[in-house]
Structure 1
Amino acid sequence: MPGQQGAAAPLERVVVAMAEQRGHVGGRLHADLTSHIPSYRAVPRELLDQIWHRHFQRALAVLREGTVPAPEEFDEADVAWDRVARGVPLGDGLRAFRRALSAIRDLFLAEAAERGLDPVLVVDRTKCLWELADVASLRIAAVHRQAEVASALLDARRRADFVRGLLYGTLSAAEIHSGAVIYGLHPSQRYRAIRAVPNGDADPDTLERSLESHSRRYGEGALLTVVGEAVAGVVQVKPEAGDLEVTAGLGPPTDLTAVHRSFRAAGRLLEAARAYGLRGVYDLSDLSWRVAVVAEPDLAELLLDRYLRPLEAEGEFGALIEESVRDYLEKGRRIRDVARSAHVHANTVRYRLRRFEELTGASLDAPDTVVELSWALAARALRTPPRHAARRARPRLPTGFQ
C-alpha cells in the first residue's frame, strides 16, 4: 500500500541508526546488569554481548516487519543451560531480558522522535516490542525451567554415580577427593557406610531424606542415594531411626578411600538384622557374633541338632526347658532371677536346667556349651515365624539383643 511504502524509508532510517548504536547501548546495559543484578557478575562479558546481539537483531526485525515470532522460534536453550549452570535464578534472567528490551525500546523512541517517524507507526512498533517482551519472557521461563529440571536430574545421576563408585571401590583417590569436596564431605575425616531398607509404608526416597536430614541436623556429614529398594551411602554418626520404620546395617568408620570395605560390612549387618526381624540401625557392636549365625547356616543346623532338637520330644515341657535355658543365659546364669521372671520356684528352674543337661548330654557350666548354645538359640530366633500382629515390636533374641 502507498502509506506503508511511504513509511518504510523513515522506519528503515530509524532501524539503521539504532543498529549503529548497538555496541554503545550494549556497554551501558552490561554495566547496568552487573550493578543491579549480582548473579550476572558470574556471566562473562563476551557471553552477554552475544546474547545482547541476538536480542537486538530480533528486535530490529520486529520493528521492520511489525510481527512477532512464534514462541517456538525462540531458541533460548543454550542461554538457559548457561544461566542454570552459573546459578543465575530464573527471576534474574527475566529481569535482565526486560532491561535489554527496555533499552531497545528507549533507543527506538529516541531515534523515531529525532527523525519524525509517524506517531501511529511509533505506537504500533512499540506495542510490537512489548509483545516481543511478553512472548520471549514466557519462552525463556519455559526453557529455563526445563534446563533446571534436566540439570537437577543430571546432578542427581552424577551424585548417585559418585556414591556408588565410593561404596563399590571403583573411584581413584583423586576422584574421591574432588567428589567429596563437591558433595560436602571432608576427605580427611572418617565415615561409616550404611545400607538401609524401609519397612511399612515408608519408601526409599523418604528414607534417604530422613537419614541424611538427621545427620546434617547435627552438623555431621552424610551422602546417600537410592539403590533399587534400598538406601546406601556414608554417614559420620549412627542415625536415629525415630518413628521411621527402617532396618539398616552400619559399617565401621574408615577413610573415604577404604569406605568400600565398610560398605561390605554394612551389607552383612543389614542381612543379619533383617534375618532376625529387627527394626532400627545396627552396627557390629549391636549384633556381634550373631552376624556369623546368619552367614553359617550349616553350623547353625549342627548346633540346633546338638542342643535344641532333643528338647522337642518333651513337647510343651521341652518348650519350657528351652525358655528357662534362654533366660538362664540372658540373666547371667542367675537362677533366682530366672525364677522371679518366670514366676516359678527356683527349684523348678533347677529341675528344667538339669533336665536339659540330661537330654543333651551337655554341661551348662562348660564354656563351650554356653557359646554353642547361645549360637543355637540365635539360630532358633532366625526360624521364628514373623510377628505380623505386632510388626513394631522388637522380637525377643538371645543374649545381647535386649
Structure 2
Amino acid sequence: MATDALDALVHDLAEDQQLIDDVVGAARADFPEVARLPWAESRRHVAALMAAGFAAFSHDSTEDPDFTSAFRFGAERAALGVPVAGLLSGVHAGRSRILEIAINRGRSAGIPYDVLLAALLKLDKFGTALEHHVIDGYRAAERDLDHDARADRIQVLRRLLLDEPDDGPALDPAQFGLAPAGRFHCVVSDAAEPGRVRAMEQTYARCGGVLAPVGGRLSGLTPRLPPTTRDEPGVLVVTTPAVRLAQAPDAYRLGVTALTAGLAGGAAGVRSVTDLAGETALAAQPLLAGFLSEDLLAGLDPGDPFHRDLVSTALAFLDRGQRLDRTATALHLHPNTVRYRLRRLHELTGFNDAGGAPVTETVRWWWALRTWLGQPG
C-alpha cells in the first residue's frame, strides 16, 4: 500500500507542471544569471533536467540512467559564460525546492516516514548524479571553448554593452579592434549549443568583430556583418545598424528586446531589429498589452478551447492581410469555417472582420489577440 502511494507521489511530481514553475522560481531567485534569461527558456531547461531526474529515479536498475540532457545543460551554460558557482547555486536551489515539496506531499498522502525517507534519499542520490553530469558537461565545453582570451572578451563586452566597470585590470577595447571612433553593429543571439557558439564567435572574428557571452546571451560588436551567414535551424540572431560605442548599451538593450520578441513570434535566422520593429515596440509595453487584452477580449475564457480557436483564427486572418482565402489555406479550414469563427468572435467581443479599419485599430486588435493567446489555457 505504501509502495503504491509512493509510486503515485513520484508520478504526480513528474507530471506536475506547477512544480516546474516553482523550481524555476527558486532557481531564478537564487541565480541572477538565470533571472536574466526569458522565463520560457529557463522553464525549458528545468523541465528537461527534472524529466531526466525522475526518469532516473524510476528507471530499470539493469540499465544506466540517461543524463544526456543534464550534460547538455551544463555545456550550454559554459558556452554562455555562466560562472560555475552561480550554476551550482541555481541547481542546489532547485533540488531543495523539489525535496521540500516532495516531503510535504508525502506527509499529506500519509506515506510512512521510513518509506518516505528512503524514497527521498534515493531521489537525492539521483539529484546528485544529475548535478555531476551538469558539471561534467560544463567542464567539457569549457575546455573546448577556452582556447583564447575569451574571459577578456567577456570583460570588454560587459563594460561596453552593460556599461559595467572593469572587473580586474582595465582592458582597452581598441586591442580587440573596437576603436572609439568606429561604428559597430550590435549582435545578440539565443545560440546556446557550444559548437554553434564557437562557430559564431569565429565567424564574426573573421569580420573584425568580438562575440562572447553577455548577460546569459551570446552578444557582441562587429564593424561589418558576415557577407553570407548560414541560418541555423532554431537559432535567432538579431543585429542592429552600426552605432558608435557610446550608443552600444542602448543598441544592446534594443537587441535583447527584439530577440525576446522574435523568439516569442517564432522567428529564426539572421534578422535586423528593423525587421522586428513592430514586435519589438509592442514587447516593450507588456503592461499595456495586458490591459488591451483584458479590455477588448473580456468576453473570452482562456480555458475554453473553442475560444482559443476563435482567437487563433482571427490572428491568422489579420496576419494574412484580412484575406479569407489565405487564412483558410493557412489553417487548413474551409472558408465557411473561418467566416463562422470570425462572426462568433464579433458577437463575443465586437471584433471587426469587414476590413477598412484604420491601421491603429487593426494593431490594437492584433496586439490584444496575440497577448490573449499567450495566456495559459
TM-score by length of 2: 0.49
Q: Greater relative contact order (Cα 8 A, min sep 6): structure 1 or 2?
A: 2
TM-score by length of 1: 0.46
| Greater helix fraction, Structure 1 or Structure 2 | 1
